[in-house]
Structure 1
Amino acid sequence: MDADFTHIGELGTLTMPEALWDRAKTISAVIAPLSMQVVVGGAAVQAAALALGISRRQVYVLIKRHRDGSGLLTDLAPGRSSGGKGTARLSGEVEDLVREIVRKQFLTRQKRTLAAVYRDIAAACRARQLPVPARNTVERRIWALNPVEVGRRRGGPNAVRPLQSAGDEVPVIDTILEQVQIDHTVIDVIIVDERERQPIGRPYLTVAIDVYSRAIVGMIVTLEAPSAVSVGLCLAHAGTDKRPWLERLGLEAQWPMSGKPRQLYLDNASEFKSEALRRGCEQHGIKLAYRPPGRPHYGGIVERVIGTAMQQVHELPGTTFSNPVERGRYDSDRKATLTLRELEKWMTLAVTNYHGTVHSTLGQTPTGRWREGMDVTGLPAVASNPTAFLVDFLPVVRRTLTRTGFVIDHVHYFSNVLKPWISRRDTLEPFLIRRDPRDISRIWVLEPDEDHYVEVPYRTMANPSVSLWEHKHALARLHERGVAQVDEVMLFRTIEQMREITATASKTTKRMRRDAERRNIATTAPSGPPVPLQPPGFSEEQTLDTESAVAQVPRFDQIEQW
């Protein structure tokens, strides 16, 4: 049973309290630049010590920890104590006194030192015959304060005002992956299902573009509506080596643009503001920035690329064009021929063609520009473990551990790795669990002791892999029948019945075909030799090798000046 889970050796991102997480961000902002220097001067160490309110020795310890670590924010997190059971060990009266004196003595323009504030706290405790807290305990209380609030009270509004570009000029980007923009769109083409080759509707595209080189570093084509998961999948695609993915598609195309962005530039859609996305980006040193309201030229680069891609999509069979007037009497459903996987291949070949096309603004190809950037910055940081990287961006649920494992939405999960925690489950807080909505047959559980993820499968291994949307449809079906008490056996029996109806129906609706295709994509891994992509206009008997297939793909048009 031990082989049923995977140990993910990356620190968790959601276990820290918010205040402690903010403190880690403050430390990282000071220590990370110093750790990149070959020699750190005494003046720089002294300035860092003053900025963080710690000793010079602690600064050197943090620099070494950052250099020896994996480049994650949690490498610099202050040490955490269980405090008995995760609670403060100071009495309520002492906590109130510490809080009051910190507010009156530390959070002022006088900028009193931590040592002076601690002396006042100790004197006040003795005067009231209360136990004097240790100095490091007071330090932790101060470190837990919101750094923005601390900066505002001690230095004024200008001390915490974020850097902004002057006027309406978009900030200049100087190197690759300095800024990556992500956006979604619905693709203007009807696709067909793999089984019956009947239309199932329009898919969605999520794309990430490197602003410096105009290269596309990440792309996801899916039947799922845009969500925080779409963003996480696109980031995982951008931050990992694409060669294994290209092999699974059966393509020999070159797509060398990969790496973790330093800044992610987004619009203000709700899926771009999830807790999982924010913490995941902070964990991997990715800064989040949002487009200022009312300034459409911010973030316009990714939108222009998407618009150009859609113009090329209009040449595919089954296109819906941009509007009904442009479509005219063209029957998009009847002309549709491409499956989702074939469209993904087509988009991939179109992207690789675009990378080799001279860009009108750059005066060179995105590939050439990317290589120039690499000559300056070196090889970009690529996620070594794609699964662990993706897990950091998946949605989160929290559950208490039971004798039989975890129960999430009537589904049981268990692995032998849980046994040491089951024996002391009454002393543990609810576990943080991440779940991929595309396939809920496994979950990733954050260890309470080591902050590593472990993979935990279904308790009943015979249950089929299902997606979260299929699971919800089955629950809705049971509730429609008036079933008040839903159990796991009943739930999966309903899912199987729904699948049989879809599979055996002589004529299915577009929605049923679409749901069946979503299920196949979510639960079926590619196997066997890949089927070569047949571009539009070719009969089923005709196939092309990779080079000729690339030649048949329409290139992205010359992109207008941005």
Structure 2
Amino acid sequence: MLEFYDQPNKIKLNYVNNKGKNSGTLYTPDFFVIKENTAGWVEWKNEDDLLILSKKQPWKYIRDDKGNWRCPPGEEFAKELGLEFQVCTNSIINWNLHRNFVFLDDYLRKGKDLEINISILDEIRQVIFQNPGISLKQLINHSNDCTFSADDVYVSIINSDIYVDLKESALAEPDSIKVFLHKEHEEMYINLISCEKDLPSPLKISFDIGTKILWDNYIWTLINIGDNNVSLSSEDKYNEVSRELFDKLVREGKIIGQKKEDLNDPLIDLITEASEEDYKKANYRLKHVKKYIKFGSKEFTTKDEPNLRKVRDWVGKYRKAENLFGNGYVGLLPKDKDKGNKQDRFSSEVMKLMNEHIQNEYESIVQKNVAQVYGAFKNKCEEKGYIAPSSVTFYSYIKKRPIEEQVKKRKGTRAGYQKKTFYWELNRTTPRHGDFPFNICHLDHTELDIELVCSSTGKSLGRPYLSLMIDAFSRKVIAFYLSFEPPSYRSCLMVFRDCVRRYNRLPQQLFVDNGKEFHSIYFETLLAMYEKELIWRPAAKPRYGSVLERLFGTTNTNFINNLQGNTQIMKNVREVTKSVNPKNHAIWNLYELSSALDHYFFELYETIDHPALGGTPREAFKMGLFYSGERKDFYIPYDTLFEILTLPSTRNGEVTIQRSGVKINYIYYWHDDFKILHSNKTKVKVRFDPFNIGIAYAYVNKKWVKCISEYYSVFKNITEKELKFITSEIKKTKHNHVKSFSLNAQKISKFITESENNVQFKLLKTRADETNNLIQYRNKEFDTSNSNITTSNNFNTEESMESNSEEHYLDLYEEF
């Protein structure tokens, strides 16, 4: 095939209708295809649809003696022009080839960036040469005694350095697929077999020997990577570490590739500068781009779909971004903010002259008015032969200057103090459910049948919720999250964090039910950003999640129901007396139960034989990774950037920097970088921590900065859920939202300090504290402080933040 065009011009089909009369109709085929020796139209249909259409329109579609579908009117039209008309169905699609493409998806996305060391490739080819007809499984088994890995084998297949027939066999069944040096080698082997009955037998982070790495601020050269140890050198130094420790440091992001001169990754800039609306648009576009790539233009013929021309444009941007950044998703982000000419229209000499007049003439104790200063500047430009900017431009540059310094120079320090910014106090005293691990995972939540108590007071806190992600291939638990909060977007994001923390990967396909927490913009955005497929289970089809439902049942039956404080007896609540009520016998707290579940999932459950596997989940997972490849080149580092990307934002995704900082959910946040930006009313992207509203993040000057809230000592470790409760309670006391009433941080802070007698808030606060303590314990094992996130540390005493600036009246967020 040389070229193809979808949705070509209409053609006229002449036929004899059911009444025996000659008739004609205009028709648009799916494709016009140009090949080396012929050309013509191609129509694609579903086999089942053709069976129905052949009865309704027997003049249009028929099946010949050979079982091929034909369109006689189309063939007649094409014949007159010396062309062809062909009807194809889904029955001719090679689903085995499709299955292999899914298996190789990670490698295919990397494309031309995947390279293999020539010595490793020679080693692979030598094994194949010495063992004609070797199976993929046997070849990978040789890696135990060689330097190559399964990943190297699959990269070699992608690059056509070795040959397998992807149309006939499945890579997911390595014992049944043969590997050859090239196609001719395969043909030779087949010929030998036919003549002879018995043939005698004879790291998203990549590291290669000789490459540079950055470890503990030193650049090292990799000398050797063995099975047990890794050797490194740096100038006159030599070091050797265990392979286990080396891999651990890589996963934690403490060892990275050679440090680049430019630390500003354009991919990160494109992602972090996008707004929530940008993400929403990109998610929508990605869905249709994938549909177009998979099915072609025939899926875009209904009114419900976007314009076909738009979809083609999106596909072009997607592929262009893949070539530029290795990630097609960023190409689908809207570029509205980049429109227009952002370059200075004036020469550097004019800009220098303008700045001199503003600093020396306008910002002085003489207090010249702006018109006088502009007149002097314009005269100077004419004297030097420059084209002077307009007065409007001149005034706008004055407004961009730091307001505090400007007023201080013109009116003195006391007047400048009125424009001084505020600071706050920091401290207060299928094929087996997938073909390989991470191919298909399931995520869901359940309320556990056990009553928990506070770790400090021993008082009852109620039943916890368990969020669980399981790998369908191995039935191994991938990640979990335990809290007192009902399922929400926060539960989902914490499971994602746990998954990346443990394995530096996310599932290729994630199956979820239709709970509203799974329809959060941030839930979809995170998966789309890493090009992972989200699949919602069909409504009223519980079997789609049967793997996870069975594990929930097993966990409750075999583990939870054997713990003191379990709620089995509550199934017959009328028979429950005070002496046997689980609330009176509860002894487990959230941290203890989480630790016990960690041991149960990762030490007990996965080491017990599973009837569907013929072994244990741990063995199936380990063996699956060995034969499908560990795919370390595609690892997701668990670092501060990943943590920030999992945080939510405001409804608009960005806020304006004011004199008091940035305002998020009634509260101002501050960082020292805002000093020179607030006078310009600059808008920045923001993220807030739903588990600690005392901090937030803003994207300033191409980097994320950590911002501290006003009343930090009060808001520290207060959760988003607590904030929603507080704002709701305050509004209730003000006669059902009186219009003249507005919320601010001072009123929220006052409620918190005076809430000792509020039983509901005390319970909510205690539950939140238990959850935060659990999160902090887990985070202690992973250090993400090596990221370029800066924190403001210049704080004075707490000040009341009653501000005359614009109030942001935000509705209470719904539960996602």
TM-score w.r.t. length of structure 1: 0.61
| Structure 2 equivalent of residue 475 of structure 1 | 727
- Structure-2 change in CA distance of 1:213 and 1:425 (3 Å): same
Between 258-267 and 222-231, the greater mean CA deviation after superposition? 258-267
| Structure 2 equivalent of residue 135 of structure 1 | none
Bigger proportion of residues as strand: 2
Aligned residue for 1:490, secondary structure, equals helix
Aligned residue for 1:317, secondary structure, equals coil
Q: Partner amino acid for 1:189?
A: I
Following superposition, the deviation at residue 467 of structure 1 comes to 1.3
| Structure 1 equivalent of residue 548 of structure 2 | 302
Question: Map of 1:57-456 to 2, 5 A cutoff?
Answer: 62-67=321-326, 73-74=329-330, 82-84=338-340, 172-241=433-502, 259-311=505-557, 312-321=559-568, 324-325=571-572, 329=576, 330-352=580-602, 353-375=604-626, 376-379=628-631, 381-397=634-650, 398=652, 399-425=655-681, 428=683, 431-447=684-700, 450=702, 453-456=704-707
Q: C-alpha separation between the residues in 1 aligned to 2:516 and 2:319?
A: 40
Q: C-alpha separation between the residues in 1 aligned to 2:517 and 2:434?
A: 25
- Structure-2 change in CA distance of 1:233 and 1:19 (3 Å): closer
Q: C-alpha separation between the residues in 1 aligned to 2:745 and 2:315?
A: 56
Q: Partner amino acid for 2:730?
A: L
Following superposition, the deviation at residue 362 of structure 1 comes to 0.3
Q: C-alpha separation between the residues in 1 aligned to 2:315 and 2:631?
A: 35
Q: C-alpha separation between the residues in 2 aligned to 1:240 and 1:348?
A: 14
On the 8 A contact 1:207/1:219 being kept in 2, the answer is yes
| Structure 1 equivalent of residue 278 of structure 2 | 16
RMSD (Å) for aligned C-alpha atoms: 3.9
Q: Partner amino acid for 1:266?
A: V
- Structure-2 change in CA distance of 1:170 and 1:74 (3 Å): same
* Match status 1:489 vs 2:746: yes
On the 8 A contact 2:489/2:517 being kept in 1, the answer is yes
- Structure-2 change in CA distance of 1:277 and 1:421 (3 Å): farther
- Structure-2 change in CA distance of 1:391 and 1:85 (3 Å): farther
Q: Partner amino acid for 2:278?
A: M
Between 311-320 and 292-301, the greater mean CA deviation after superposition? 292-301
- Structure-2 change in CA distance of 1:388 and 1:194 (3 Å): same
Q: C-alpha separation between the residues in 1 aligned to 2:544 and 2:293?
A: 30
Following superposition, the deviation at residue 181 of structure 1 comes to 0.5
- Structure-2 change in CA distance of 1:358 and 1:77 (3 Å): same
Q: C-alpha separation between the residues in 2 aligned to 1:491 and 1:327?
A: 42
- Structure-2 change in CA distance of 1:325 and 1:511 (3 Å): farther
Q: C-alpha separation between the residues in 2 aligned to 1:343 and 1:322?
A: 20
Q: Partner amino acid for 1:384?
A: P
Following superposition, the deviation at residue 519 of structure 1 comes to 3.1
- Structure-2 change in CA distance of 1:276 and 1:408 (3 Å): same
Q: C-alpha separation between the residues in 2 aligned to 1:510 and 1:23?
A: 44
On the 8 A contact 2:508/2:532 being kept in 1, the answer is yes
- Structure-2 change in CA distance of 1:461 and 1:28 (3 Å): same
- Structure-2 change in CA distance of 1:15 and 1:489 (3 Å): same
Following superposition, the deviation at residue 443 of structure 1 comes to 1.7
Q: C-alpha separation between the residues in 2 aligned to 1:364 and 1:527?
A: 33
1:364-419 residue CA offsets vs partner (Å, 9 max, x unmatched): 11111111121122245443134433433433313333222122233111112334
- Structure-2 change in CA distance of 1:402 and 1:171 (3 Å): farther
Q: Partner amino acid for 2:648?
A: P
Q: C-alpha separation between the residues in 1 aligned to 2:460 and 2:623?
A: 44
Q: C-alpha separation between the residues in 2 aligned to 1:335 and 1:289?
A: 41
Q: C-alpha separation between the residues in 2 aligned to 1:412 and 1:78?
A: 29
Q: C-alpha separation between the residues in 2 aligned to 1:55 and 1:303?
A: 38
| Structure label with greater radius of gyration | 2
Aligned residue for 1:456, secondary structure, equals strand
Aligned residue for 2:544, secondary structure, equals coil
Percentage of pairs with the same residue = 20
1:449-474 residue CA offsets vs partner (Å, 9 max, x unmatched): 74x54332214444441112322333
1:121-161 residue CA offsets vs partner (Å, 9 max, x unmatched): xxxxxxxxxxxxxxxxxxxxxxxxxxxxxxxxxxxxxxxxx
| Structure 1 equivalent of residue 372 of structure 2 | none
Aligned residue for 1:396, secondary structure, equals coil
Q: C-alpha separation between the residues in 2 aligned to 1:53 and 1:198?
A: 60
On the 8 A contact 2:671/2:707 being kept in 1, the answer is yes
Q: C-alpha separation between the residues in 2 aligned to 1:308 and 1:63?
A: 43
- Structure-2 change in CA distance of 1:240 and 1:74 (3 Å): farther
- Structure-2 change in CA distance of 1:85 and 1:460 (3 Å): farther
Q: C-alpha separation between the residues in 2 aligned to 1:54 and 1:278?
A: 19
On the 8 A contact 1:217/1:258 being kept in 2, the answer is no
Q: Partner amino acid for 1:65?
A: L
Q: C-alpha separation between the residues in 2 aligned to 1:401 and 1:469?
A: 25
1:268-306 residue CA offsets vs partner (Å, 9 max, x unmatched): 111101111111110011111011123221121111111
- Structure-2 change in CA distance of 1:419 and 1:179 (3 Å): farther
Aligned residue for 2:752, secondary structure, equals helix
- Structure-2 change in CA distance of 1:514 and 1:472 (3 Å): closer
On the 8 A contact 2:318/2:329 being kept in 1, the answer is no
Aligned residue for 2:568, secondary structure, equals coil
- Structure-2 change in CA distance of 1:527 and 1:283 (3 Å): closer
On the 8 A contact 2:432/2:472 being kept in 1, the answer is no
Q: Partner amino acid for 1:194?
A: S
On the 8 A contact 1:201/1:510 being kept in 2, the answer is no
Q: Which runs of 5+ in 1 are unaligned?
A: 1-6, 33-50, 87-168, 242-256, 503-508, 531-562
For this pair of structures, how many residues does the alignment match? 394
Q: C-alpha separation between the residues in 1 aligned to 2:753 and 2:774?
A: 16
1:175-205 residue CA offsets vs partner (Å, 9 max, x unmatched): 1111110000111000001122121100100
Q: C-alpha separation between the residues in 2 aligned to 1:55 and 1:233?
A: 32
On the 8 A contact 2:444/2:469 being kept in 1, the answer is yes
On the 8 A contact 1:239/1:260 being kept in 2, the answer is yes
Q: Which runs of 5+ in 2 are unaligned?
A: 1-263, 295-310, 343-429, 736-740, 781-816
Following superposition, the deviation at residue 263 of structure 1 comes to 1.0
On the 8 A contact 1:178/1:261 being kept in 2, the answer is yes
Q: C-alpha separation between the residues in 2 aligned to 1:193 and 1:461?
A: 25
Q: Which has the higher contact order (CA 8 A, sep 6+)?
A: 1
